[in-house]
Homo-oligomer: A and B are copies of this chain.
Amino acid sequence: MKIGELAARANLSASAIRYYEKLGLLAAPQRIGGQRRYPSGALQRVLLVRFATDMGFTLSEIKLFLNGLGDHIPVGPRWRKLASRKLVEVKQNISRSLKLKSLLQGLLRCHCASLEFCVTRLSLSSNLRGLSRSNR
């Protein structure tokens, strides 16, 4: 499989594939005439990476539990640790977003002339602060 086909099947771009390789998320494949030729297993690997990024892991986190360079903790516990950390983040994000939602709904129901009034009237100061402001 050439890079274009792999990219198409994984629904991302060829340059993204090369980028994953450079980051060490994907093994450098055999080459024919300088061009990359992938075994079918590569697709599964790429899809796993996509899946993990969709779950909110960063590429360097993914690298950690895919080929765990750096420390000597085995894959299982390492993944488990990262995943439970991520779970906390996700939960925080949920509660933050729920707050946000009712806040926005409140502001939309409000008929103040200016936003400043709304904000002070509804005294929505900032119970928003300090919650993980990024699920990516």
Q: Which residues of B contact A101 (CB under 8 A)?
A: 87, 90-91, 94
Complex interface bits, A68-94 against B, C-beta within 8 A gives 1, otherwise 0: 000000011001100110110011011
Partner of A65, one of B103, B115, B133: B115
Q: Chain A: interface secondary structure?
A: helix
Residues B100 and A90 in contact, CB atoms below 8 Å apart: yes
Residues B107 and A51 in contact, CB atoms below 8 Å apart: no
Q: Decide if A105 is an interface residue (CB 8 Å cutoff).
A: yes
User: Who on chain B is nearest to A115 by CB?
Assistant: B79
Residues B93 and A107 in contact, CB atoms below 8 Å apart: no
- Nearest CB in chain B: distance from A134 CB, A: 6
- Nearest CB in chain B: distance from A26 CB, A: 14
